[in-house]
Amino acid sequence: MLYKPSPATFRMTTVYVYYLCRLNLFPIMMITFEQALEIIQSQPPNGMVEHIDFQAAAGRVLSHPVSSDTDMPPFNKSAMDGYACRKADLPGPLRVDGEVPAGEMHAHPLSEKSCVRIMTGAPLPQGADCVIMDEHTTVDSEGMVFFTKEFSKTNVCYQGEDVKVGQELIEASTLLGSEHIAILASAGAVEVEVSRQPVIAVYSTGNELVEPGEKLHRSMIRNSNGYQIAAQLRQCGLPAQYRSIIPDTYEATVETINEAFLKHDIVVLTGGVSHGTYDYVPQAMAACGIEILFHHLAVQPGKPSLFGKRNDGKYFFGLPGNPVSCFLQTELLVKLLCYQLQGHRYHPPAVRLPMGVAYVRKRTQRKAFVPVRITNGELFPVNYHGSANIQALHGAHGFMVIEQGVPQIDKGAMADVRLI
C-alpha cells in the first residue's frame, strides 16, 4: 500500500527540510567522484536469473559459466585445400585415391604411396599425417601427384587444439557481446542463464516543462532529459522507459516515486535535486523510505547528483536538470549501477590521447568532464557553453577528464577521455 501523508504532514515536512537545507543542517556532504563509484560498486547483485535463447544474449550478463560439450576442432581437419598424405611418402609420386569435401569422411584408411584430394575443414583420412598445398604440387599425365618443395608443415588442425571438452569458454559475470554468440553456438549453448536486468523508470520534473510535441508558451521549455536518459539506457539493451513530467510539488513527487517503485527496480528523476524553493526531491525521498547514499559530487557538470536505496533493494537516482549534466551522470553512474546489479563490473570505453590545443579553466575545485572531439588522433574541446548546452554533444566523441586542482592541460599533453 502506498504511504500518503496528510496535507498537513506534507506542508510541515516540506518547510522543515527546506529550512534545514537552507541552513546547511541537512545531513548531506559533497564526496569525490571516486567515492561515488565505490558506493555504487558496493551494491550487491540482485541475484535473479532467467534463461534466454542464445541469439538474444548480446548485451546481457552471463550468470553461469559456459563450458564446451565437445573438443574444438572435434576431429583432425585440413587447414587448407590440397592433398592429404603421409610425410614418409613424399615427394611422391602419389596415387590419388578419392576426394574428401568438408562435412564428409573418407571411406577407408589411406594406403601407402597414395593421397586424397581434400578441402579446407574436411576430416583427415585415417593414416594421413599431413596436407600438402595445391600450390606445392604438380600432376603428371597419368594423374600422379608430386610434391615440389623440400619441406611442408602438417597443415592440420588437430582435435582439441583450440578447446578441450568440458573446458570453460565464458566465465560468469561476462557482459556478452556479438563476439560471444559464435562461442555459444559452437558449444551448443542454445539456451543461456543470464542475470535479470533491472527495470527502469525515467521521469522529468518541472512546472516549466512541456512534452516535445506540445506548443511552447512563454517561460516554457520542451522536456528533453527524460527521453535522452531512456534512450541512453535502451542503447545498452536495458529496459528503460520515460514515463512523464512530475509537477513541482512535494505531494506529486512523493506519489510518483512511490507508484514507480511498484513496478520498477530503479527510478531515475531529473531536476529538483538541489536546495531551491521548489526542489522537493531530497525530502520526498525520505517520505518514500529512500536512504540517501550520496548527494553532491565534486564533479563538473553534475554536482547535485543524488543516489539512494530502499530497504527492498530498489534504487533511486536524482540527476541535475541541465541536460549535459544528466547525460554525463547517466553514462558514469546510472549505467554502472545497472550492470552492478547484474553482477558485472562495468568498465566504460576510454582512450588516452594528446591534446591538439591547450585547455585552460578558471575553477579547479571539482573534477571536470569536458566534451571533446577526436581529430587525427588528437583532442579538441568542442564549442561548449556549459551544462545546459546539449547541442555541444553533437559531434563530440567523449568527455575529457581533468582532475581536481588541475588548471591547464598543455598542447601535446596526454589526457584521458571517456568515450560516448
Q: Is the pLDDT of residue 407 over 70?
A: yes
The percent of residues in the chain predicted with pLDDT above 90, rounded, is 74
Please check whether residue 1 lies inside any domain of the structure. no
**Strand spans (E) along 249-289:** 266-270
Q: Are residues 237 and 182 in the same domain?
A: no
Q: Are 85 and 98 in contact (CB under 8 A)?
A: no
**Chain segment 262-314, per-residue pLDDT in tens:** 999 999 999 876 655 556 788 899 899 999 999 999 999 999 999 999 999 99
Q: List the domain range (segments joined by +) for residue 228.
A: 7-47+197-340
Residues 201 and 336 placed together within one structural domain of the fold: yes
CATH number, position 131? 2.170.190.11
Helix axes 250-261, 7-22, angle to 10 degrees: 100
pLDDT digits (tens, 9 = 90+) for 217-246: 888 888 999 999 999 999 999 999 999 999
CATH, residue 184 = 3.90.105.10
pLDDT at residue 274, as a whole number:
61
In angstroms, the CA 268 to CA 272 distance is 12
Q: What average pLDDT does the segment 49-65 reach? A: 96
Boundary-marking domain end, from 109, 138, 157: 157
147 and 63 both lie in a single domain: no
Last residue of a domain, one of 305, 340, 375: 340
- Residue 296's pLDDT is 92
Higher per-residue pLDDT: 218 or 372: 372
**Assigned domain for 42 exists:** yes
Residues 229 and 132 reside in one and the same domain = no
Tell if the pTM clears 0.95, that is, is over it: no
CA 293 to CA 49: how far, in whole Å?
26
Is residue 276 in a domain? yes
Exposure string for 318-340, b = 16+ CB within 10 A, e = fewer: bbbbbbbbbbbbbbbbbbbbbbb
Residue 360 and residue 276 in one domain: no
pLDDT of residue 145: 93
CB 117 within 8 A of CB 83: yes
284 belongs to a structural domain: yes
Q: Are residues 336 and 381 in the same domain?
A: no
> Do 63 and 179 belong together in one domain?
yes
Q: Strand locations in 28-144, DSSP E?
A: 49-53, 66-67, 77-78, 82-85, 95-100, 114-118, 130-133, 137-139
Q: Is 50 exceeded by the pLDDT of residue 26?
A: no
Same domain, 53 and 189: yes
Decide if 2 is inside a domain: no
Asked if residue 336 and residue 225 are part of one domain, the reply reads yes
| pLDDT at residue 25 tops 50 | no
| Number of domains making up the chain | 4
Q: What pLDDT sits at residue 11?
A: 46
Residue 103: inside a domain: yes
Nearest Cα to Cα of residue 184 among 55, 319, 307: 55
DSSP letters spanning 191-228: EEEEEPPPPEEEEEE-TTEE-TTSPP-TT-EE--HHHH
Identify the pLDDT of residue 17.
46
Residue 282 lies in a domain: yes
CATH number at residue 257: 3.40.980.10
Same domain, 258 and 330: yes
* Each residue's pLDDT tens digit, 187-218: 999 999 999 999 999 999 988 888 998 888 88
Query: How confident is the model at residue 275, as a pLDDT?
Result: 59
Joined together, the cell numbers standing for residue 137 give 604440387
- Which amino acid type is present at position 112? E
- Same-domain pairing of 258 and 327: yes
For residue 371, give the CATH number of its domain: 2.40.340.10
Average pLDDT for residues 374-386, to the nearest whole number?
Answer: 91
| Together in a domain, 191 and 202 | no
Give residue 14's pLDDT.
44
Q: How confident is the model at residue 75 (pLDDT cuts 50, 70, 90)?
A: very high
Where a domain ends, among 340, 362, 378?
Answer: 340
What are the start-end ranges of the E strands in 260-314? 266-270, 290-295, 299-300, 306-310
Considering the chain, what is the average pLDDT of its residues?
89
- Residue 336 has a pLDDT of 97
Q: In this structure, is residue 138 part of a structural domain?
A: yes
